[in-house]
Amino acid sequence: MTSSSYAKPLSVLSFLCALFLISSVAFGQDKDWREIVPAELQLKSPKVEPDADAEVLFWEVRVDDSNPDSMVMKHYKRVKIFTERGREKFSKVDIPFTTNLRIKNITARVIKPDGTITDLAKADVFDREIARTDKVKVNAKSFAVPNIEAGSIFEYKYQEVFSYGSAEDMRMPFQHDVPIQNISYYFKPAGSVTYLRFNMPETKFVKDKGGFLRATMENVPSIKEEPYMPPEDEVRSWLLVYYSLDQYAKNAISSSDFWSRAGGAIVRRWGVKETLKPGKEIKAAAAEIAAGTTTPDDQMAKIFAFCKTKIKNISYDASMTEEQKDEIKPNKSPSDTYKKLQGRESEINELFASLADSLGLETRLAFGGDRSEMFFNPNQAHESFVGLFLQPGVFKYGTSPAFSTADRKYPIFFHYPWTENDDVQIALPKGYELENADSPMPIADSSKISYHNIKMRIDKANNVLHYDRSFVFGNNGFTLFQPQDYKPLKDLFDAFHKSDTHMMTVRQMQ
């Protein structure tokens, strides 16, 4: 590459720096506290519940599931303290964590009515064990809140980082043990996502900035425990988000149809038929275990007793720690469980089913609801299937921005110029339609080094979304950039990524 080709992008990227000056703000991380308004400091009594000892002014949770390596949840809570009981409740904070969950960037402060601020010192955050039962330990990041008193405002922020985590089947509770003036979940999914609403019929996700979706509730009363009350999830307000499983709900026309499709999807995903299929060893074991029996009931009783008394259940073994259980490799088949005479709960269930199948008994795996958590309502899935979010750029599904660090030491070198052209057609689910078919704005620079354009249209007759994407980078041989040009170049590729992961809302037709 000649020196002129190396230098010319400087003027172009200077232009890009101005072009993306506004958008770069959205890509940055807000490290400051939100402003404390005088009305919050002067607040003398609760707004949501008149007798509350403390009240959450706002509670924000940002769930970023767009990175396949980790899921990040950012929490920000601001609380107004009204009474001595409220001071006592929030005088200490515990943030639980596990081996696969890291807690980062804990910050907290207290603002007195006169505006005096006391910040939490980093040295005052420590690890401690908060519970231990049957060899199971629960640890937490803990800290005592400095100078908290009635009339003051307490706020804190922290991040949860789940290694290789996922928002699949994530519960998002909007109702807690303290009244809340405003609570919002910001959600950046890994792809097309569906959600169910419980006890919050008016709340739904809407598109927000930076590829996030937002759901908000206001004036949420606290959950108060009462004797003989139903499970908490039956009465509180919450959302369940999940990624479509084999598209099984795609064309469901009724609740029974939904669960029929769901069952088929589970069988395919888990390979149930192949797992339960007995081999020679299991058939021989079943014959030996059931020897002397003449009726199906007696055969079932024999193999049930064998699985219960002869197979060690690791899941409920109180003599082992969770770490020790995690070190044991899963059994690959019911035959493995039989050979080792030990297994986890699900593996023992599979062994029981395989033994029964080898005796000629019709066997299927059954999934049931846990009434200690929530009552199972077969109509819930169909009635609450309120919408899904679609990422038309399917070839960019689950991708991360090209550049993640804030600065750069070495030059940026692309091995060659390249172009990408995608032509995607997406058939929408029966009975559903797009809320809109808005396309991201084209992205280009004055010297035409790069170009990114997405066009979308809807074929209403066939209910098909047409997605056309054109991308060019490195025109005129510009593939090498200096470190000082990293910031505008990063902003440019961040804009590409934002456009490629653009989300759309699919809703049920009215």
Tell whether 256 is covered by a domain: no
pLDDT at 130 over 50: yes
pLDDT above 70 covers a percentage of the chain that reads: 86
343 lies in the same domain as 393: no
68 lies in the same domain as 14: no
Please say whether the dihedral angle defined by the alpha carbons of residues 346, 348, 351 and 357, taken in this order, is positive or negative.
Answer: negative
CB-CB contact of 161 with 72 (8 Å): yes
Range of the domain at 7: 3-22+385-508
Reported as a pLDDT band with limits 50, 70 and 90, residue 434 is confident
Reported as a pLDDT band with limits 50, 70 and 90, residue 12 is very low
Q: Distance between CA atoms of 423 and 425, rounded to whole angstroms?
A: 7
DSSP 341-384: TEE-HHHHHHHHHHHHHHTT----------TTT----TTHHHHT
The arithmetic mean of pLDDT across residues 364-374, rounded, is: 80
Q: Report angle CA 151, 156, 158 to the nearest 5 degrees.
A: 170
Q: What is the CATH number of the domain that holds 402?
A: 2.60.120.1130
85 lies in the same domain as 216: yes
The arithmetic mean of pLDDT across residues 186-193, rounded, is: 86
189 lies in the same domain as 101: yes
Tell whether 436 is covered by a domain: yes
Residue 73 β-bridge partners? 63, 160
For residue range 409-419, list pLDDT tens digits in order. Answer: 999 999 999 99
Q: Distance between CA atoms of 479 and 32, rounded to whole angstroms?
A: 37
Strands (E), 202-358: 206-207, 213-220, 238-243, 312-313, 342-343
How distant, in Å, are the alpha carbons of 16, 351, 442, 482, 494 from that of 445?
Answer: 7, 62, 10, 18, 15
322 lies in the same domain as 295: yes
37 lies in the same domain as 10: no
Tell whether 364 is covered by a domain: no
Residue pointed to by tokens 């049931």: 368
Please say whether the dihedral angle defined by the alpha carbons of residues 462, 389, 391 and 491, taken in this order, is positive or negative.
Answer: positive
Q: Distance between CA atoms of 150 and 54, rounded to whole angstroms?
A: 9
Model pTM? 0.67
Tell whether 374 is covered by a domain: no
Domain count, the chain: 3
The arithmetic mean of pLDDT across residues 42-47, rounded, is: 95
Q: List the single range of 253-267, 279-293, 343-357, 493-507 with lowest mean pLDDT.
A: 253-267
74 lies in the same domain as 17: no
pLDDT at 19 over 50: no
pLDDT at 305 over 50: yes
pLDDT at 212 over 60: yes
In the prediction, which pLDDT does 2 show?
31
Q: Distance between CA atoms of 311 and 342, rounded to whole angstroms?
A: 5
Which helix H or strand E contains 129, and what residues bound it? strand 126-133
296 lies in the same domain as 389: no
pLDDT at 11 over 50: no
127 lies in the same domain as 50: yes
Tell whether 27 is covered by a domain: no
The arithmetic mean of pLDDT across residues 10-20, rounded, is: 40
In the prediction, which pLDDT does 9 show?
40
In the prediction, which pLDDT does 250 show?
55
Q: Distance between CA atoms of 62 and 76, rounded to whole angstroms?
A: 9
In the prediction, which pLDDT does 364 show?
79
Q: Distance between CA atoms of 476 and 449, rounded to whole angstroms?
A: 7
8 lies in the same domain as 50: no
Q: List the single range of 99-108, 270-279, 301-310 with lowest mean pLDDT.
A: 270-279
User: In the chain, what is the straight-line distance between the N-terminal and C-terminal CA atoms, in Å?
Assistant: 60
Tell whether 344 is covered by a domain: yes
**Cβ partners under 8 Å of residue 1, min gap 6:** 477, 479, 480
For residue range 242-274, list pLDDT tens digits in order. Answer: 876 555 555 565 667 777 777 777 777 767 777
In the prediction, which pLDDT does 259 show?
77
The arithmetic mean of pLDDT across residues 201-214, rounded, is: 87
Average pLDDT, the chain: 84
Q: How many CB atoms lie within 10 A of CB 358?
A: 25
How distant, in Å, are the alpha carbons of 162, 207, 214 from that of 167?
Answer: 10, 18, 15
pLDDT at 469 over 90: yes
Tell whether 258 is covered by a domain: no
In the prediction, which pLDDT does 309 show?
94
In the prediction, which pLDDT does 253 show?
59
73 lies in the same domain as 206: yes
317 lies in the same domain as 465: no
Q: What is the CATH number of the domain that holds 163?
A: 2.60.40.3140
pLDDT at 5 over 70: no
In the prediction, which pLDDT does 421 show?
93
Phi-psi region of 151 (alpha: psi -120 to 50; beta: other; left: phi over 0): left
Q: Distance between CA atoms of 44 and 80, rounded to whole angstroms?
A: 9
For residue range 48-70, list pLDDT tens digits in order. Answer: 999 999 999 999 999 999 888 88
In the prediction, which pLDDT does 21 show?
34
Q: Is 453 helix (H, G, I), strand (E, B) or coil?
A: strand
Tell whether 296 is covered by a domain: yes
Q: Distance between CA atoms of 203 and 386, rounded to whole angstroms?
A: 11
Closest CA to 381 of 197, 217, 247: 197
